[in-house]
Structure 1
Amino acid sequence: MIRFKKQYAAVVLAVTFAFSSAGLAVLPSSTVYAADASGATASISDILKYQQSDGGWRKDYSVTSGDWAKSTIDNKATYTEIRRLAAEYQKTKNSQYSAAAVKGIQFLLTMQYANGGWPQIYQSSGYHNHITYNDDAMINVMILLDEVANKKGDFSFIDSTLADKSRNAVAKGVECLLKTQLVVNGQLTAWGQQHDSVTLKPAGARAYEVPSLCAKESVGIVKFLQTRPSTPQIATSIQAAVKWFGAVKLTGIKVVKTSDDVVVVSDPNASPIWARFYEIGTNKPIFAGRDGVVKYKLSEIEQERRTGYSWYGAWPSSLVN
């Protein structure tokens, strides 16, 4: 999630939905989405240079004040730097890289809440403190730590103590996933895009990201749970989420571009799609503009938000028969 200009993709000729084969059309060429954090393209020397004293990395290395100058896991920050450092160590055997990677891993362990969740930004304020599933931030951290725990791939150099700590962190994270799955009318459903770090209830972030059930991020959670040794609780969680995906799929419509807009049109032959956000209690697709007012049609929010956000997708298609 990005609130400043630099973090948007400055050069985007065309953006497509990731699941266009499922009936989603290409978005207008003017559409831009959040760019990856600096660590995705920075040189290894800059990754070393910009590692913060706590062991993490900023999203944008050029930002020096405010919440975004703090270490974060947003937009692939920190866990990407760790991966790149580990890979560089395996190529060079330069201990400077392995030491920085270890420091980054230790930061992720420190960043984790006692309840098992991870915030978007470390020691921050407002919605940045929420347990953050948005853009798979927490799930990507858990995937990384699971590799560290098993000394997998580039992380073969990790010592057993850090591996054990990482394993425990993943286990705590799984507990958090299970605790935050929302029960509605007595039934387990799915997850919010972010959850309050104290109450564990779905929480809002930016004005147009209202408390809701989120199809996109819930898919990443389910797929991670599928990699865990099965327990009755995990099996029940997965089954309930998949059932919910099936219940809220949208048929008979597709998302189409115009010259400068994104519209929803009828199409009886279209493959199922899902809204990103669903209203808790009704399972109605919901949308919001920068005023934060919930609407029930994409056409009811401003054009800038219609074209500047992933409101629909086929994310659960591989999980639902």
Structure 2
Amino acid sequence: MGVRFKIFALPAAAKLLPFAFLLSCGWGQKPLLDEAKSALSKAIRFFRTEVAVNGSYVWTYSEDLKRRWGESEATETEGWVQPPGTPSVGMAFLRAYEATGDKTYLDAAVETAHALTATQLASGGWDYRIEFHPERRKRWFYRKDVEAGEKDPKGRRNWSVYDDDNTQSALRFLMQVDVALKGRNKEIRRAVEYGLAKLIEAQYPNGAWPQAYDGNPPDPANHPVIPARYPTQWSKTHPGKGYQYWRLYTLNDRVMGTIIQTLLDAYRLYGKREYLKAACKGGDFLILAQMPDPQPAWAQQYNFQMEPAWARWFEPPAIAAAESADAVQTLIELYLVTGDDRYLRPVPKALDWFKRSQLPNGRWARFYELKTNRPLYVNRNRELVYKPEDLREGYGFEGSFGISRLFELFERLQREGREKLLAERNRKPTPQELAQRAKEIEPKVRQIIASMDARGRWAEDGRIHTKTFIRNVETLASYIAAASKALQR
């Protein structure tokens, strides 16, 4: 961070420097700022008053709002948690509040937070769907049932889903609302503390988490703390119906990375060492889970003998590039937070494996066969093949997976050091930087405003997409925050 000086007096010309800089950048039109604020208000009012169900949201709506979808079609009384569902919309409301100070947006976020506190499960997290119909709600076993004295789920659903940042996104959102309210809303604070405690309870003795947690803490006797290893043999066909892969040690769909980040956020916001300890224990698992040579990377999931294992029928035991990238990113983040070098030690060998495993097209395969390192695919006939032909649709069997950015980050870390990276991360932007940011996104802001209809909707091909709403709200909020601060200085 730069040195700050107390300035007692400034010449008149100097006082005009920030605004003069704005004009020199070709920016500084207050009418657009007012238009952006108006568009933000209209968009959030529409979503909150016409789209929401008890403060909850799904992914997609028909333009007439008569049909609703998450990952599958939802009823008129359901919300969806998995991003870009309910917590993601709530975070957009919070960003609007932070950018404007308008309490209406904080009220919207609190309303969404209560949709989550009302549907928090006894196991501490959330299912993909959250239900508000009085009779249909009885299919789930809630935290509030436990608080009312119930102990037996009696067949009710009680799976806290960690897949796809489901429970984690809800907890991070609730934490941000709790902090914005300074802990004054006891129900939200209780949901946060309960959820974090159950998240730690679900952690296996070696530091891993399952894909979903049913509220029964793992027995250490069944989970020895051992390093990853290659299986002596593995089946090339899926185990079939009844295979409970969601109980395995899971990296798939960023389970480990998003849980560790949630705990690090909790530690940053509340300062409780137990959250940092659990996050670091998760890092210890990632160190254990790095496969030995010749493939010092990570699998999507491991069985309790720490061998790569099947998940769904198109997710075989293999080295997984996307999950390996997330593991490296998470280990670097743990090093930045703690300064502990052991989280960096696995990184060079993993980066070397990425170099050796890059495909001729510049991308990486999602899966690499154990030991041979041959790219591995699954076709529509559920067969393992070595060429990307006739593949199952809707799954990323190849991609960039953010791997190039990892090389850049690690090189910068080596060159500049941890303290400089942290200082840059925490540095507040200058008025000139804020003005430049506003100028850069101004064309996008104009496009967003122009594409909004009279009701405050962004409709695309007869559908209203929550992802578009979130993206546009965040862009408007970013512009308003940058422009307002630049004009104030």
Give the TM-score normalised by structure 1: 0.73
- Out of 47, 51, 54, the residue aligned to residue 123 of structure 2 is 54
- Out of 87, 91, 96, the residue aligned to residue 176 of structure 2 is 87
Question: In 1, Cα distance between the equivalents of 2:310 and 2:164?
Answer: 18
The runs of 5 or more residues in structure 2 that have no matched partner are 1-68, 75-81, 91-111, 132-136, 141-154, 216-242, 409-489
Distance 1:292 1:182, change over 3 A: farther
Name the amino acid aligned to 2:166: A
Distance 1:286 1:236, change over 3 A: same
1:49-198 alignment, distance < 5 Å: 49-62=118-131, 64=139, 70-92=159-181, 93-123=184-214, 126-149=244-267, 152=268, 155=269, 158=270, 163-184=272-293, 187=294, 189-196=296-303, 198=304
Question: For the aligned residues, what is the CA RMSD?
Answer: 2.8
* Correspondence for 2:327: 221
Question: In 1, Cα distance between the equivalents of 2:85 and 2:244?
Answer: 21
Conservation of the 8 A alpha-carbon contact between 1:250 and 1:274: yes
Distance 1:58 1:39, change over 3 A: farther
- Cα deviation, residue 7, structure 1: 4.9
Question: In 1, Cα distance between the equivalents of 2:407 and 2:174?
Answer: 37
Conservation of the 8 A alpha-carbon contact between 1:60 and 1:68: no
- Cα deviation, residue 293, structure 1: 2.0
Question: In 2, Cα distance between the equivalents of 1:233 and 1:35?
Answer: 32
Conservation of the 8 A alpha-carbon contact between 1:207 and 1:289: no
* Correspondence for 1:8: 71
- Cα deviation, residue 56, structure 1: 1.4
- Cα deviation, residue 54, structure 1: 2.5
* Correspondence for 2:398: 312
Conservation of the 8 A alpha-carbon contact between 1:208 and 1:290: no
Distance 1:118 1:39, change over 3 A: same
Question: In 2, Cα distance between the equivalents of 1:221 and 1:39?
Answer: 24
- Out of 202, 206, 228, the residue aligned to residue 312 of structure 2 is 206
The runs of 5 or more residues in structure 1 that have no matched partner are 1-5, 12-33, 254-271
- Cα deviation, residue 300, structure 1: 3.8
Give the TM-score normalised by structure 2: 0.49
Distance 1:314 1:183, change over 3 A: same
Conservation of the 8 A alpha-carbon contact between 1:207 and 1:291: no
Conservation of the 8 A alpha-carbon contact between 1:208 and 1:291: no
Q: Deviations over 1:54-91 (max 9, x none)?
A: 32111222494799751111122211111111222233
Question: In 2, Cα distance between the equivalents of 1:247 and 1:293?
Answer: 26
Secondary structure at 2:374's aligned position in 1?
coil
Question: In 1, Cα distance between the equivalents of 2:202 and 2:366?
Answer: 27
- Cα deviation, residue 36, structure 1: 4.6
Name the amino acid aligned to 1:140: T
Conservation of the 8 A alpha-carbon contact between 1:286 and 1:295: yes
Question: In 2, Cα distance between the equivalents of 1:175 and 1:81?
Answer: 25
Conservation of the 8 A alpha-carbon contact between 1:109 and 1:169: yes
Secondary structure at 1:190's aligned position in 2?
coil
Which has the greater radius of gyration? 2
Question: In 2, Cα distance between the equivalents of 1:113 and 1:181?
Answer: 17
Secondary structure at 1:182's aligned position in 2?
coil
Secondary structure at 1:199's aligned position in 2?
coil
* Correspondence for 1:31: none
Name the amino acid aligned to 2:399: G
Distance 1:71 1:202, change over 3 A: same
- Cα deviation, residue 135, structure 1: 1.4
Task: Count how many residue pairs are aligned between Structure 1 and Structure 2.
Answer: 260
- Out of 363, 376, 383, the residue aligned to residue 273 of structure 1 is 363
Conservation of the 8 A alpha-carbon contact between 2:160 and 2:212: yes
- Cα deviation, residue 148, structure 1: 1.8
Percent identity for Structure 1 against Structure 2: 27
* Correspondence for 1:249: 358
Q: Is 1:284–2:374 an aligned residue pair?
A: yes
Name the amino acid aligned to 1:48: T
Question: In 2, Cα distance between the equivalents of 1:217 and 1:199?
Answer: 19
Conservation of the 8 A alpha-carbon contact between 1:54 and 1:107: yes
- Cα deviation, residue 134, structure 1: 1.0
- Cα deviation, residue 286, structure 1: 0.8
Name the amino acid aligned to 1:173: G
